[in-house]
Structure 1
């Protein structure tokens, strides 16, 4: 009885072990069909589970794909496995431009790597890099970029005035023609998010130098030649006495004088740039005919005739002009030096209404 029971127990245990290995060790291949995103393929396999078959056939799944039946299900003969490949559509706005991407990536970082979109220094991303990809995900990228261009700037010339006492007053000549200059600028343009944020001149080159115009203006005043006087003596009879007055004739016009001096006479001139250029103590302009006097001897505005110089008017003073001394104005330094210091007859004219400026041709 005991040995019979042992045989029965051993046989039962062997049967149980045999039946338990039917699933773990498949000896007969199963015929299985896989429909992968619409493509159908039939396989003969001894694999036990769906995920084993997929791995053996090199079929990979993304986190977005679905498999029916589930990868953990055991394979059965005649089983149909359906794989739906799902690629979410993601919208990326890059510097204001909308772009659409379908992807198998799991995160934003993987998507950017797949599409060769690089986030460089200074760029801004509206979502974290580890954001999970989902259908209809929208995010924005703002990048920093630069560009450059060349511009040209025209520099206008200026006009310089020079004075020449050898040219008549009112005469003007162009000594040097003016020419504008040209500068070349290299301009750096900075953009962020597609918008211009700054422009900077990074380099400047002078292509053409500015040539200023130089104009020469004459300052030589016209010389009025005054004829030497013809002196006459005439007698004027009165009821009680008899007196003698003197006259002289200039260009056919007789002039009476009331006083006569012999004076030490010198000469002076003004040059452009001088402190007192074209200014006199009386406020009148300088011209040939302007005479500096000692106002205690000859008052300003006195019309007089100077031997060898002609008719003039007292309108200026000088530190060295004291007593019987006068200083005659000449247009040029050379004329003043040539005149030097002389003793001259000076006549105070009887007619003090003479317009000396008009007589001398001063406008």
Structure 2
């Protein structure tokens, strides 16, 4: 009897267990990427996760929601969030995210990035717990290379690294503004001045000089070419500095004479023909030539304001017997031979500030003769 009762109890318990197990829901759950199938009496997804001793954080991904009702054949996904350190503009911030890649993290955080922004590590990098993601925002600045200007983008870096990013290669002599070690900033202008040093050889003409020599065998005012002039030629070697293709400095290194110059030599006559007081016979007729009447005065070599030398260069003190008159050249041409009534034959070889129009000044070596002449109206015949 007792055995029968015990058997009945065992059967009843087993049957109860079978009935209990049979009423459980079958749920497929993805736990952090791993697929499991569980049977549960949990009423909600949250209850089921608690039964599985899974601690869910606020940033974790759970689908369907934790308060969703558990049904048979339900599929549940749980993806725990990871702690990521984000660095932007030098500021660090810890965030929790279930994103798989850096790119998904940026979208998850509603961060707008430009193509020119620098993201470290790259956008397609898989995220790991405690990973650091840095965002360097790009800015616009001006780049001038060899005078060619363009607007470009860059993140905060040195001028040297910026030029490498832009594919700009520097030559040994190039000048960069600002310095290569300085940081580039928004609205900066980075200027690369292309400098080159070249050698230039040019041939330049050398003008001949004109050498004038006095010749007392020639009449005063006459010229004679003794030797013709000829330009020379010199080869000059220069060191030339160019900036952006334009010459800024030229330094003479050496020069070499290719052809010597030949100076022109001219002789200029200094001989003056002076009529002397003479009782001899002259070959000039006093009755020929143009006649005019003039007002005449007299002067000496030592008169007040006189230098003793005529305007044509005759030294009156050395030629006291010279027969010279001062004239207005517009009336009687300089150098003309004349015959002056009461004075005789003379040469128009002087002029003075007060001698204007029909007026002459006759030369005497002594003051007495000059005073004796006084002021008188005389007839002058211009012979030639």
TM-score (norm 1): 0.35
Compare relative contact order (CA 8 Å, sep 6+) and give the higher one, 1 or 2. 1
TM-score, normalised with respect to structure 2: 0.33
